[in-house]
Structure formats: structure tokens, C-alpha cells
Amino acid sequence: MQGIDLHTHSNISDGTLSPDALVTLAVECGLHTLALTDHDTMDGVDLIRKSAQAYDIKIISGVEISSQWSRPATKKTYGVHIVALDMQQPEPLLDALEIQKKIRAERAKQICQLLQGCIGQDIYQDVLALVDGEPDRITRTHIAKTLVNKGIVSRPQQAFDRFLKEGKRAFVKFDGLSLAETIQIIHQSQGYAVLAHPTRYDLSATNVRYLIELFAQLQGDAVELPPSSEALSTRHMVDRMVEQFNLKVSIGSDFHGDNMPWIKLGNTPVPKAGQQGIWNAFR
């Protein structure tokens, strides 16, 4: 337990704890540094800062940005998540997130329309009820949860496997910022760009290596270390790439509360000797 968690979600997006409850749990877990990184929104950051005032814990501003990149050779576009941390001048990023939120809201409608063709009913209003009627907060987690609540699938994972993941009938890509734009805007906002969960995109090993190299070329700052639940060979591959491209490392659990009960807050991988933690650069 290192006392640092730089990738977490609240119920502003697809976590289940309020920002306030997240802080309380973080303090109970013995964390001294916490970043809230909800999907395409920083709406929880002020809330969590306020809650944290009562405790001895450092809150880092954060957001997990839905981004995309492509390989010139294949012209295929892939989704990628970039965690932005410690923005000192967040305005450029906040402006970009307003557009990301509109895209997110529109995409949720499109997904529900495609789902209607698969299951014969429109679940959009039920999905919307899970996010207090705010469509720009809808994630595929909420859609999966609604499909479980309606008895159409038995588990959220089944909703992804049957309908929601890439290649399935209700998949809609998130057509927002490119990887280059994302990193540029994070830097304009004086924050750090972190490549989130590099080995969780269903990419071939070749494409993972290409992505990390591209991220480094575009001046990305740090790569998240894979959790210990992933194969040791996966961790070794990331360690080698981090060293080769002189990248820093970040550690985050990707905590989602009861939506992913197997992920424990603060349960983060231990950096290897010599790896530079992005948290050492926090202001």
C-alpha cells in the first residue's frame, strides 16, 4: 500500500460512491494522495476538494479523456483513454470537455437506438434515470447496468460481450479528441498526460507497443503500470517500453465502487527501482 491512487471514479460518471464518500474511503484506506478521474468531466473535482478539507489528504485534479489514435498503415482508428492530472490552468481542458460531453450525450442516444434494434425496446429513459437526467454523464457502464436491471443480460460484462464492445451491434465509437489534441490541451492546461491501462484495449502486442511509442513521440508524460492481476509478462513489456522511451509511470486502481467490486481503492502496482513516478512532479 503506497498511499497514492491516481485513477478513480465517482458517481459523477460510472463509479458508485459520491466524491464525498470517496474521500472518506480514501482516508480510511490510508491514502495521502488521490486523483478523481471521471470520464470526460471535472465536475467532481471541486466537490472532492471541499470534502477533503477536513482531512490530511492531497487531492489532485483529474479527468479520464476519451481519445482516439490511428495507424497510418491500416487507417484503422482505435479508442484510448488518457488520464489528465494536476492541471494548474484548467480552462483549455474545461472548454474541450464541454465538447466531449456533447459527444458523449449524443453517442448514448445512438447506442440506445442501435440496442432497440437488437432487443426490441428503448431503454434510453431508464439509462438517463441512472445519471440524474444528465445525458453527458452516461457511460457504457450505465447502459450495461440498465440491461442487467431489465433482465436482458445477467451481468454487465455480458452486455459488453453481446452488444456494447467494439465489433458488436450496438458499438458506437467515441468520435472526440485525437490523442495528439488531447496531450496538447492537457499541456496547455499545465497538466500531465497519462496513458491509462495500456494493455486493456484489446490490442495486439504490436499495436500496444506502437501506441506507447506514439504517445511518447507526442510528448505524453507517463504510462499507467498494469495491475498485479495482469500477467507478469505484460508488466515486463510495459516496464521495457517505459524505459526505452524515457517515460514516467503512474499508479491508479481504476476504482469504480460497487460497479467493479473486485477493484480496491488504493490497490496500486509497485513501481520498479529506477522508475520515475509522475506524482513526484505534482505541484
How far is Cα 57 from Cα 16, in angstroms, rounded to an integer? 21
Residue 123 CA neighbour count, 13 Å, CB half: 26
**Alpha-helical segments (H) within 14-90:** 19-28, 45-52
Selection from 182, 172, 186 nearest residue 66 by Cα: 182
Cα angle for residues 198, 272, 242 (degrees, 5° grid): 40
Asked if 40 touches Mn ion (CB under 5 A), the answer is: no
Nearest distance from C-beta of residue 129 to Mn ion, angstroms: 19
Query: Site residues (CB under 6 A) for ligand AMP?
Result: 14, 39, 66, 139-141, 156-157, 160, 165, 174, 256
Contact in structure between 80 and 211 (CB atoms under 8 Å):
yes
Nearer to ligand AMP, 50 or 155 (CB): 155
As a whole number of angstroms, the distance between CA 66 and CA 232 comes to: 27
Residue closer to ligand AMP (CB basis): 175 or 243: 175
Which partner, ligand AMP, Mn ion, none, binds residue 187 by CB below 5 to 8 Å per kind? none
81 binds Mn ion (CB under 5 A): yes
- Please report how close the Cβ of residue 128 comes to ligand AMP at its closest, in angstroms: 14
Number of residues engaging Mn ion in binding (CB under 5 A) = 5
Give me the least distance between CB of 81 and Mn ion, in Å please. Answer: 4
Residues whose CB falls within 8 Å of the CB of residue 48, separated by 6 or more in sequence, listed in order? 10, 19, 20, 22, 23, 34, 36, 59
Shortest Cβ distance from residue 239 to Mn ion (Å)? 21
Nearer to Mn ion, 55 or 201 (CB): 201
Rounded Cα distance between 86 and 58, Å, is 11
The single residue among 67, 97, 254, 255 that binds Mn ion, judged by CB under 5 A, is 254
- Does residue 38 touch Mn ion according to CB under 5 A? no
Question: Shortest gap between Cβ of 64 and Mn ion (angstroms)?
Answer: 5
Within residues 185-244, the interface with Mn ion by CB under 5 A covers 196
Residues that bind Mn ion (CB under 5 A): 14, 64, 81, 196, 254
